Structure 1
Amino acid sequence: MNAADLLVSGLEREGVEHVFGVPGEEMEDLLFSLRDSEVTFVPTRHEQGAAFMADVHGRLTGDAGVCLSTLGPGATNLLTGVADAHLDKSPLVAITAQAALDRLHRESHQTIDVVDAFGPVTKWNTQLSDPDVVHESVRKAFKVAEYEKPGATHLELPEDVAAEETDARPLPSRDRVRIAGPDAEALGRVIDHLEEADRPIVVVGNGAVRTGASDYLRAFVRGTGIPVVSTYMGKGAVSDADHRSLMTLDSGAGGEATEAIAQADLLLAVGFDIAEHDPAEWGHDAPVIHVDSEPAEVSEAYDPVAEVIADIGRTLAALTEWVQGGSGPASDATGGEDSGSDGDSRSEGDSGESPTSFDAEWYVDLRKRIVSDVDREPDPDAEAPFDLRDAIPVMRSAMASEDVLVSDVGSHKMAIAQNFPTYEPNTCIISNGFASMGIAVPGGLAASLATESNVVAATGDGGFLMNAAEMETATRLGCGFTIVVFNDEDYGLISSKQRDHRGEAVGTRLTNPDFVAFAESFGIDGYRPETASDLEDALDDAIGDGMALVEVPVTSAPP
């Protein structure tokens, strides 16, 4: 086989089903190899969209998503989505074509040093300059991308190398390397701090969701009664219906979630990555314990007194065993939902006494204020444009607990993070490491391929038009998901920050096409509700019923 065939055979061995990308002439051999394989090449409308699709696939499944581009401008277009996967810790393998080796030593048409450009946003990347190393490089790309903490890797295939013959054969895929369990000394330091604490709090990050540690975390929270606040990317690790959940950082009209961190006398950070949220904003002076698969980043605002660098779930199971008096592993440490007797994951869960000596009441009023703010009832007589925060509960009520929301970046992201209760892990996908606009529509496509649940892609008018062309890709694939466009004709989050700083905003106003007509031009059902009742009906009709777009006019502050 030639090198392109060998690369594609490696993708087959890794279980890859889709490769997202934009074709180019330098990848001709690779495209024909894909055509003759079990892997489906999905032509997208922009390389950034392709990378976002691979990014969200990796985030939802834990298996590396794969994206593909040609050299030069194709590769640089791909770069933003690759960087998003890198900082969001999502497994992704990027493949780029390159010119023939005999013209890389000089200035040449469309040629830049792509390997060098991808270096800062990948865990590992290389040029495949020899067809006999392709099989090893593919296996390494997936192993490194998927190993905790996951991220992006990159392979560059020059067009002449792609056509060269090789006797090598693809390496078999292997089980991922398992992270070790916690050592007794590190656990002992954590337990010493917990025994001294009166008002501890858990700050849960992306790592708890990503590593599948949610069940262990829920068992630990049940066993201790310690309250939990999540980062934007940790939503759903503990159900927001649990009475110990203080929802998300910044939740509550007065920032009660962050206030809880300031009041706590011990912070147990579980799977927290400093790229998710700046700890300098927490206003705490309590000691921090870091439980993660890698040591904490060095930061004056986040300087742990103890770190347990081990498998997160096994660490939490060991701590739960300690809570139960060393009587053995917690019986429900690998169990399911924090549910009531009816099994509804939105239930408030049990209300039993904590077996520990922690103060079980210190956060109760904070929880009540958060719930009161998040559960506010929209005015049934409201007319468009709507208050953004009034529209979020309507969207929540139209979605089941297991449905997946993919949020773009903007003012709506902040509202979703703070006011969209989440009941299951990996059902609210927010990019808050790199936080790139334009992820929602391609991300919704990837989610619809990766899950059986209904999918909603929530976006602002600014982020929507950055990758709206991927609606054509979605309809071509027969995908079914709902796009909710919050339209204020403004880069609203930037406007808000400018007004906070200077009392006015500049350079943020937009004009938009008719979004309903735009959706219909793709053969997609379009809705533009004018009343609160229309909004509820539109979301109920759209979600779970094929491709649809709901334009939600929302209020915008004056320019």
Structure 2
Amino acid sequence: MLLTGAQIIMECLLEQKVDTVFGYPGGAVLNIYDALYEYRDRINHVRTAHEQGAAHAADGYARSTGKAGVCIATSGPGATNLVTGIATAYMDSVPVVAITGNVNVDLLGLDSFQEVDITGITMPITKHNFLVKHIEDLADVLRQAFQIAQSGRPGPVLVDIPKDLTAKKYEYQKQAPLPLLPVHYPSDEHLRQAAQMLQNSRQPFLYLGGGVSLSGADKEAAAFAEKLDAPVSASLMAQGAFDAHNSRYMGMLGMHGTKTSAEAIKNCDLFVAVGTRFSDRVLCNAGLFARNCPILQIDIDAAEFNKNIDVDLRLEGDARQVLTGLLSLLPQQNHAAWMEQVHAWQKAYPLTQAAEAGVLPKDVLETLDKLTDSNAILTTEVGQHQMWAAQFYKFRRPRQFLTSGGLGTMGYGLGAALGAQAGNPKAKVINVAGDGGLHMNCNELATVAHYSLPVVELLLNNSVLGMVRQWQKLFYDNRFSQTTLDTNTDFCKLAEAFGVKAYRIKTKEEIEPTLKEALAQQGPVLVDCWVDKDVNVLPMVPAGASVEDPMLEM
């Protein structure tokens, strides 16, 4: 079948069962967009207000569905506007395929209009990238891009396609998607060593990272926790990988983790880490982390072993497969006294917030949790609201919490929410935002309004850059340099200008009825919730301190 390069791109997307793409048209991708018009009954295109929103939307689609997300941008500034979104996906291991246009092949390297070396720019933040210079390579490159993005530890792949290739014709033959690349599996000897470590433990600590969600290992992780008879903590990226309603769950570990998790790591005799890269926000002071016990690490990426912290035994492989192997070797354990101690810490150190008056973020998020039966998909921007969402919403399953953990990208959440809503049309999707983050991406309110996506934008509005201000309070003697957001933006009027229905919460009594009404709407909604600027994220481990000793008050 003789097709243009643009049509070959469409057919390759259909091979991969891609149903939705996100992007923004421009000169170098005119042929691709002409093909999208032709294929509009088979591939849904969501035009965002900005290319960065398209990258975040593809990311949110991928995180929430488990399928690769796809975004499209033109050459030059269109391509560079994707960079922050690509880096966000890279840091959090999200399978995204970014397709960019470029100038004609004979104009490459001549500083042509809207030309940029996007493969050179994105090399450090992609699993792989391609510049396609020959039409005969186009289909195979696209197939490889999806294979690489989804194999092993997932991540973004960029394919840069000169405009003249999208107009040329070439013979296309349909193919099945390439199989995922094989991953390593631990030796029987290493599995037996791990099983022996587990059996010797009397006070084990099970810590789950984002890899548990990515591998679909949540059921195996729950069964493993039961068989090991251990308490469980999860990273920011692993919220929902273990049901927060389960009495074994202690909350997060790390800079803003719970006091229960801190006590557990101080007293455990074995630390079992599954699918985590030991981020500095988890370790805090690496020299003081889990210093009283051996560490068993399970991870699909060999580069993560002994990178941030030395471990005693490493099992390289997919989390689901490795946990399945360990379950078959491990007899049922019984650590009743240890679990009783953990439950005592949970009662002694609950997560609390205090304020003289007004609306507490804890009350807002716990009410949201109740009204949605812990089943909504939450996205976030980055800052205090992000931590409060992780602390007070009780996620039940993987792919419910979409947040920028590694790169910490302000402006991520609204784009991710519209991507998640497009991929999960029957789900309730809520973006928990701060006013700083919303100022960065409010243009995407136009997108959710245009497509009538029923996203709820829950704004925790404290008129400051709260997390940065919190550090200024602790370590800079209350010198609040440029963290007071005195812009006087009326977010309700702003939302309404975009065609988004808006509500405002200013008192505790307004929380439940307002949220209930907002959640019942069939279209996009913004809820402007005023909270005190001096409500802090606690617990908190100060820089350089041990994760075992978080501050409980400021």
Same fold per superposition (TM over 0.5): yes
Secondary structure of the 1:41 match is strand
Number of the residue aligned with 1:164: 168
Once the two structures are superposed, the pairs formed by residues 442-457 of structure 1 within 5 Å of their partners are 442-451=415-424, 452-457=426-431
**Number of equivalences:** 524
Secondary structure of the 2:130 match is strand
Residue pair 1:21, 1:67 contacting (<8 A) in 2 also: yes
Q: For the structure 1 residues 276 and 148, does the alpha-carbon distance in structure 2 shift closer, same or farther, using more than 3 Å as the test?
A: farther
- Give how far 1:483 is off: 0.6
State whether structure 2 residue 93 is matched by structure 1 residue 114: no
Distance, in Å, in 2 between the alignment partners of 1:175 and 1:112 is 33
Q: For the structure 1 residues 16 and 544, does the alpha-carbon distance in structure 2 shift closer, same or farther, using more than 3 Å as the test?
A: farther
Secondary structure of the 2:430 match is strand
- Give how far 1:416 is off: 1.9
Distance, in Å, in 1 between the alignment partners of 2:53 and 2:256 is 34
- Give how far 1:411 is off: 1.1
Residue pair 1:459, 1:483 contacting (<8 A) in 2 also: yes
Match 1:55 to one of 49, 56, 59: 59
Number of the residue aligned with 2:232: 228
Number of the residue aligned with 1:151: 155
Distance, in Å, in 2 between the alignment partners of 1:95 and 1:287 is 45
Secondary structure of the 1:86 match is helix
Q: For the structure 1 residues 313 and 270, does the alpha-carbon distance in structure 2 shift closer, same or farther, using more than 3 Å as the test?
A: same
State whether structure 2 residue 192 is matched by structure 1 residue 217: no
Encode CA deviations 1:147-203: one digit per residue, 9 max, x unaligned. Answer: 121000001111112111112334321443454654311111112222222211011
2:110 partner letter: R
Number of the residue aligned with 2:28: 26
- Give how far 1:525 is off: 1.7
- Give how far 1:365 is off: 1.8
Q: For the structure 1 residues 494 and 215, does the alpha-carbon distance in structure 2 shift closer, same or farther, using more than 3 Å as the test?
A: same
- Give how far 1:7 is off: 1.3
Number of the residue aligned with 1:365: 344
Q: For the structure 1 residues 502 and 162, does the alpha-carbon distance in structure 2 shift closer, same or farther, using more than 3 Å as the test?
A: same
Number of the residue aligned with 1:65: 69
1:366 partner letter: W
Once the two structures are superposed, the pairs formed by residues 379-394 of structure 1 within 5 Å of their partners are 384=358, 386-394=359-367
Secondary structure of the 2:81 match is helix
Number of the residue aligned with 2:436: 462
Question: Which deviates more, 173-182 or 141-150?
Answer: 173-182
Match 1:290 to one of 292, 297, 304: 297
Once the two structures are superposed, the pairs formed by residues 202-213 of structure 1 within 5 Å of their partners are 202-213=206-217
Q: For the structure 1 residues 250 and 543, does the alpha-carbon distance in structure 2 shift closer, same or farther, using more than 3 Å as the test?
A: farther
Number of the residue aligned with 1:339: none
Distance, in Å, in 2 between the alignment partners of 1:508 and 1:360 is 43
The structure whose RCO (Cα within 8 Å, separation 6+) is larger is: 2
Number of the residue aligned with 2:530: 553
Residue pair 2:403, 2:413 contacting (<8 A) in 1 also: no
Once the two structures are superposed, the pairs formed by residues 302-321 of structure 1 within 5 Å of their partners are 302-321=309-328
- Give how far 1:417 is off: 2.1
Secondary structure of the 2:121 match is helix
- Give how far 1:400 is off: 2.0
Number of the residue aligned with 2:516: 540
- Give how far 1:544 is off: 4.3
TM-score (norm 1): 0.89
Distance, in Å, in 2 between the alignment partners of 1:272 and 1:168 is 41
State whether structure 2 residue 503 is matched by structure 1 residue 527: yes
Stretches of structure 2 that go unaligned for 5 or more consecutive residues are 536-554
Number of the residue aligned with 2:194: 190
Residue pair 2:253, 2:282 contacting (<8 A) in 1 also: no
Number of the residue aligned with 2:105: 101
Alpha-carbon RMSD: 2.2
- Percent identity over the alignment? 28
State whether structure 2 residue 432 is matched by structure 1 residue 428: no
Residue pair 1:115, 1:125 contacting (<8 A) in 2 also: yes
Encode CA deviations 1:331-381: one digit per residue, 9 max, x unaligned. Answer: xxxxxxxxxxxxxxxxxxxxxxx54688333322222234x325x7x99xx
Secondary structure of the 1:456 match is strand
Number of the residue aligned with 1:351: none
Question: Which deviates more, 141-150 or 233-242?
Answer: 233-242
Distance, in Å, in 2 between the alignment partners of 1:312 and 1:182 is 11
Residue pair 2:258, 2:351 contacting (<8 A) in 1 also: no
2:343 partner letter: V
Encode CA deviations 1:381-404: one digit per residue, 9 max, x unaligned. Answer: x864x2333332222222222211
1:293 partner letter: I
Residue pair 2:212, 2:274 contacting (<8 A) in 1 also: yes
TM-score (norm 2): 0.90
Secondary structure of the 1:185 match is helix
